[in-house]
Structure formats: C-alpha cells, structure tokens
Structure 1
Amino acid sequence: MDIRVEKTRQSIINAFIELRSHRELERITIKELCEKARINKSTFYSHYQDIYHLSDTLETEVVVSIMENLSHPEKVLEDTADFSRELFMGFLAKDALIGILFSGSRSKCLVQKIEIALKELVFGAYPQYRENRDINIMLTYILYGCYYAFYENRKYGDVPVLSSITELTGETAAAALKMVNK
C-alpha cells in the first residue's frame, strides 16, 4: 500500500478515536473529523462511505485481530474453557480501544461481531456443524452469557470473574456437546 494512503488512513483513525473517546458516534461530524485529521472531506470519502462505515470497519478490525491471535482456534469445542480464557485475554488486551469503539449506541455490536467471528472459526474447524441447530444455539447461548456475565461483574475483578466464567463455560459446553452428540 502507498505510504501516503496508509498515513492518511492512520490520521483518520487517530482523529476518530480521539473524537470517539469523548463523544457518541452520532455526534461526530465528518467536518470536525477532517479538521482534526487535517484532510479534505473528499479524502475522507475516498476511504470511507460515512462515519458509520469508518466505525464499523474499525470495530471489525479489532475483533478480527483478536480472533487471528488465538493460538489454537481448533480447541473451541475440544477445550472450551481454555479457548474462552484465551479469547477473553485477547479482548482484555484491547480493552481501552474496545471501550471507545463499542461505547454508547455501539455497545451491543461487540458481542454480535464476536458471534459472527466465532461461528466462522468454529464452522471452519468443524464444517459438519454449520447447519446444526443445537450447536448454533449452544454457541450463541454460551457467548452471550459469558459476555454479559463478564461485563456485568467486572466490579469483582477481571481475573476472578474470568476464572469463574471460563470454568462455567467449559462445563456448559461439555454438557451441551453431550446432548448434541446423542
């Protein structure tokens, strides 16, 4: 990629994150973003369709980067507790950025994007389960349960909450897989 294009893109991203850290997505204008990034509006539009496209692109990049850094994604159904621990550690490593990008009206988008990425990962490793209703339900159930349990209970400390959630996830997944494989 052309270095100038990459620098412009990085300038747009930095300006967006700075603005987003103080304001709701809906309150950020292209005009102020371009002023902060020191670019023309036409330059912005050569990279992104609108502010929502920019936000969605960055959100997706965060989720994809976490999923790509999992050391053994094939363990998702074999050792669900270990997999979920590694997944949560990946999200904790990007906690500040996640807190900015997925705040306000975008808060529910994180778990939705994780679900899409997780199912792609699972069905890439286990294509025979792609159309299996029970596996799809199990993945959604565990993911949404873990996600909300973690974020609602962080006041108890990330490490103890993570420990409880990963243990419960492992037991829940094992029981669900037994039921599915009957």
Structure 2
Amino acid sequence: MDLRVVKTKRAIKGALTDLCASKPLAEVTVKELCSRAEVSKPAFYYHYGNVADVVDEIEDDAVSAIVEKTLDGSVDLASEETLRRFGEHVFHSPLAPLLKPDASNGTFGRKLALALGKSHEAPHGRTRKDPDNLAVLFAFDGLMGCMGRLGYESYMRAVPELSKLMEDVLKD
C-alpha cells in the first residue's frame, strides 16, 4: 500500500480516537475530523464515505490483530489475562462506546466473534488450535453479553469464573 495512504488513514483514525475521548461519536463531524487529522476533506472522502466508515476500519483493524495473535498462539482466548485486557479495552478505550455490545454504532463484538469463528480456516497453511467456530461464537457471544450487563468492577471480579466457563466451552 502507498505510504501516503497509510499515513493519511492513520492520521484520520488517530484523530477519531482523540475526538471520541472528549465527545460522543455522534457529535464528530467530518470537518472537525479532517481538521484534527490535518487532512483535506477531499482526501478524507477519497478513503472514506463518512465517519462510520472510519469506525468500521478501526474495528476491522482491531479484529485482524486479535485473530492474528490467536492464530499464532500468543493469545489464549479463555485466559484470565486476555479477558482482563479485553475488559480494559472495552470499558476504558476512547472508542469504548463503539465496542460495547449494546452500542448503537458498534459491531465490534459481532465482527470479532465471527472472525474468530472463521479463523480456523487460517491463511498461509496455519491451522487453528481452538475448537469449531460454533463454540467460539457461543463463548464470545456469552462474554459480550456479560460485559453488557456488568459494569467494569463487576466484570473484573467475574473474570476468573468467565475464564473457566470459556475454557470449558472451548475445550477440544
């Protein structure tokens, strides 16, 4: 990919993350996003149709990174450490309103669950150690449901039990 494209997209995504730290996503305009990213409106519209398209790409990037780490074995989906880090990200990220399962604009949980479910058909000849995609979808959907019902402190207290439940579901 052209380095100019990479830099422009990185600036736009970073600007959106910064803006979401101080205001709701629904209030972010293309004009202020371009201003913060120091890109022109034509440059923005060359890459994205609207702010929601930027959100989609941020979610897709995050999903790809998580799936890649899961495939190479550096992340165990059911480990307490992974669930704690994921909770921190969902509850405290500047884009947290997008990531929560009840977010009107966010589809992160569904995207991640589907990607993890499909990832057993990994590229480059790698195979997945985790069980079939139905178990992954079930476990992750349950986790997102718990996060939607619990606040941060309750979720963090429940991580050991959630880890055991996910481990049971994801057993071979």
Normalising by structure 1, we get a TM-score of 0.69
Match of 2:118 among 117, 120, 123: 120
RMSD of aligned Cα (Å): 3.0
* Aligned position for 1:83: 77
CA shift for structure 1 position 121: 1.5
The amino acid that maps onto 1:99 is A
* Aligned position for 2:50: 50
Q: Return the alpha-carbon distance in structure 1 between the equivalents of residues 20 and 142 of structure 2.
A: 28
CA shift for structure 1 position 148: 2.1
Q: Give matches, 1:150-165, under 5 Å.
A: 150-153=147-150, 154-156=152-154, 158=156, 160-165=157-162
Count of aligned pairs between the two proteins: 159
Larger radius of gyration: 1
CA contact (8 A) 1:34 1:44 kept: yes
* Aligned position for 2:108: 110
Q: Give matches, 1:1-182, under 5 Å.
A: 1-70=1-70, 71-72=72-73, 82-85=76-79, 87-88=82-83, 91-92=86-87, 94-95=89-90, 96-99=93-96, 101-102=98-99, 104-107=103-106, 109-124=107-122, 125=127, 136=134, 138-153=135-150, 154-156=152-154, 158=156, 160-174=157-171
Q: Return the alpha-carbon distance in structure 2 between the equivalents of residues 98 and 123 of structure 1.
A: 29
The amino acid that maps onto 2:104 is S
Normalising by structure 2, we get a TM-score of 0.72
**Aligned pair in 2 of structure 1 residues 6, 90: CA closer, same or farther (>3 Å)?**
same
Deviations 1:79-127 (A, max 9, x none): xxx53226535535744255254264234x121011111111134447x
The amino acid that maps onto 1:72 is G
Return 5+ residue gaps in structure 1 as ranges: 76-81, 178-182
CA shift for structure 1 position 27: 2.3
The amino acid that maps onto 2:166 is T
The amino acid that maps onto 2:112 is I
Return 5+ residue gaps in structure 2 as ranges: none
Higher helix share: 1
**Aligned pair in 2 of structure 1 residues 6, 110: CA closer, same or farther (>3 Å)?**
closer
